[in-house]
Structure 1
Amino acid sequence: MRPASFEYHKAVDIEDAVRLLAEFGEEGRPIAGGQSLVPMMNLRLARPGHLVDINALPMTDIEFDDRTMRIGALVRHEEYGRDPRIGKHFPALLDAVHWIGHPTIRRHGSIGGSLSHADPTAELPAAAILYDASMVVRSLGGERRIAAVDFFESAYVTTLEPGELLVAVEFPIPPRSSAGSFMEIGERVGDFAIASVGAHLEFEQATITRAALVCCGADLVAIRAPEIEAFLVGKTLDAPQAVEVGRRFAAMVDPSGDHIASADYKRALIGELTRRAVEAACARAIESK
């Protein structure tokens, strides 16, 4: 199929982009790599009247300070997936990047595009929620930050308002004594996930002092598990009771079955992926000591 007709506009800077998006309102959509938007347009699941090309905008840097990593919205998956600082500070994010689609998608797709698309099975929304990231958003009215947990409203729906543009995502840098992992299962390599689970652990000596868990495949957005995270605190890295953690996460979720997997299968899969993610994060923590 071919997309419905639209008008193309190339923004020259961020101010120009948000001006165009404000002018077009609900009919305007920014486009960079187009790895998600273009297929949806071809299937006529998305019918924007105006596309605003943002590829020329200065949103391609990865910046670190003592407290925060800031990734510009136009940084391609392949680029930040190669940055050694990502693996050092955010191992679950690095794991997640390797699960994104195929090499061509990782080469052309951008972090801002994936986050704004808000696919409920996508890896990056889950990683952003896992690491308590914030979305930096620009409009004619200025700049605001939206916590990742508040940014994703439903499948393919975010809290971005018409005329707003995601320009960067900021991750608070975890303490040095931390580790993480991200596990996923799909029908084939590069397919959308049936389910995925991310784990982030902070520790002192051999004891977990803080934990974060996130999963996709159980709801219209990636979900955290605060009560199960609290259960992990105080456990030792060599005996985190990962099987019990997985059992509790599986009991907590209520996925819907589809043509690929039943609800019971997804629930069991989330439990198993949780066990594996926690055990992998603990193994990495022990290796780093």
Structure 2
Amino acid sequence: MRPTSFDYHRATSLDHALELLHEFGEDGRPIAGGQSLVPMMNFRLARPAHLIDINRLPLSGIEIDGPVLRIGALTRHIAYFDNPLIARHFPAFLDAVHYIGHPTIRQNGSIGGSISHADPTAELPAVAVLHDADIIVRSLEGTRAIKATEFFLSAYVTALEPGEMVVAIELPLPPSASTGSFIEQSERSGDFGTASIGVTLEFAGGKISKAAMVCSGADLFPIRAPEIEAFLTGRALADPAAAEAGQQFAASIDPADDHIVSASYRRGLIAELTRRAIEAACTRALDKS
């Protein structure tokens, strides 16, 4: 299929882009790599009347800004792989990007596009939720920061208002005694994930002092697992009861059947991925201790 008719606009500055978004309201959509939006337009699942090309805006880059790692919305996925700041501070993030699509998607897709698209199987929304990121958005009215846990409302639905655009993602820098892991399962490499689990740990004295966990595949958006985070806190890195944590988490969720797998299969898969992700994070923590 082909998309419905639309008008194309090239933004020459951020202010220009915001003016166009304000003018067109719900009929306007920013586009950068188009790796998510264009396929949806081709299937007529998205029908914007106006596309605003933002590729020329100065919104790319990965840098430490005070207590956070700031990633510009136009930063392409390929940039994460060899970035020393992500490798040093966010190992779960680095794990996750290896599951992102195929080479073309990695070269052209942007973090702002992935976050705004809010695919429930996508890796970067899960990473944002796992790391308590702030999604920084702009409009003609100003700038606001939205917690990732409040940004994703449902599948492909976010807290963005008409006229707003994601300009950056900010991840709080973790302490040095921290690490993490991210594991995903899909039918084939590069396909949409059937389920994924991300874990971060802070540790001291051979024990977990703080934990965070995110899951994709259990709901229509990435979810945290506060009961498992509490379960892990205080446990020994050498024996975190990862299998028990996985079983407890699987028992607490209610995933849906779909055309790929049954709910029962997905529940069992999430239990196993939870075990593996916790054990991988604990192994890295022991290596750093």
Give the equivalent residue in structure 2 for 1:249: 249
Give the equivalent residue in structure 2 for 1:204: 204
Give the equivalent residue in structure 1 for 2:271: 271
Aligned counterparts, 1:1-289, within 5 A: 1-289=1-289
CA distance in 2, matches of 1:81, 1:56: 23
CA distance in 2, matches of 1:57, 1:80: 19
Structure 2 residues without counterparts, runs of 5 or longer: none
TM-score normalised per structure 1? 0.99
Tell me the secondary structure at the aligned position of residue 162 of structure 2.
coil
TM-score normalised per structure 2? 0.99
Q: C-alpha offsets along residues 78-128 of structure 1, whole Å, 9 cap, x if unaligned?
A: 012220210110011111111010111011100000000000011111110
Question: What value does the CA root-mean-square deviation take over the aligned residues?
Answer: 0.7
Q: C-alpha offsets along residues 61-92 of structure 1, whole Å, 9 cap, x if unaligned?
A: 21104411000000001012220210110011
CA distance in 2, matches of 1:58, 1:228: 40
Q: Which amino acid aligns with 1:206?
A: G
Q: Which amino acid aligns with 2:183?
A: M
Q: Which amino acid aligns with 1:173?
A: L
Q: Which amino acid aligns with 1:267?
A: R
CA distance in 1, matches of 2:13, 2:65: 25
The alignment-based identity, stated in percent, is 64
Tell me the secondary structure at the aligned position of residue 202 of structure 1.
strand
CA distance in 1, matches of 2:172, 2:218: 26
Higher mean displacement: 80-89 or 207-216 = 80-89
After superposing on structure 2, the runs of 4+ consecutive aligned residues of structure 1 that deviate more than 2 Å are: none
CA distance in 1, matches of 2:112, 2:133: 13
CA distance in 2, matches of 1:72, 1:66: 15
Q: C-alpha offsets along residues 217-240 of structure 1, whole Å, 9 cap, x if unaligned?
A: 111011111111001000011000
How much has 1:258 moved relative to structure 2? 1.0
Tell me the secondary structure at the aligned position of residue 163 of structure 1.
coil
Q: C-alpha offsets along residues 237-262 of structure 1, whole Å, 9 cap, x if unaligned?
A: 10000001101111111000111100
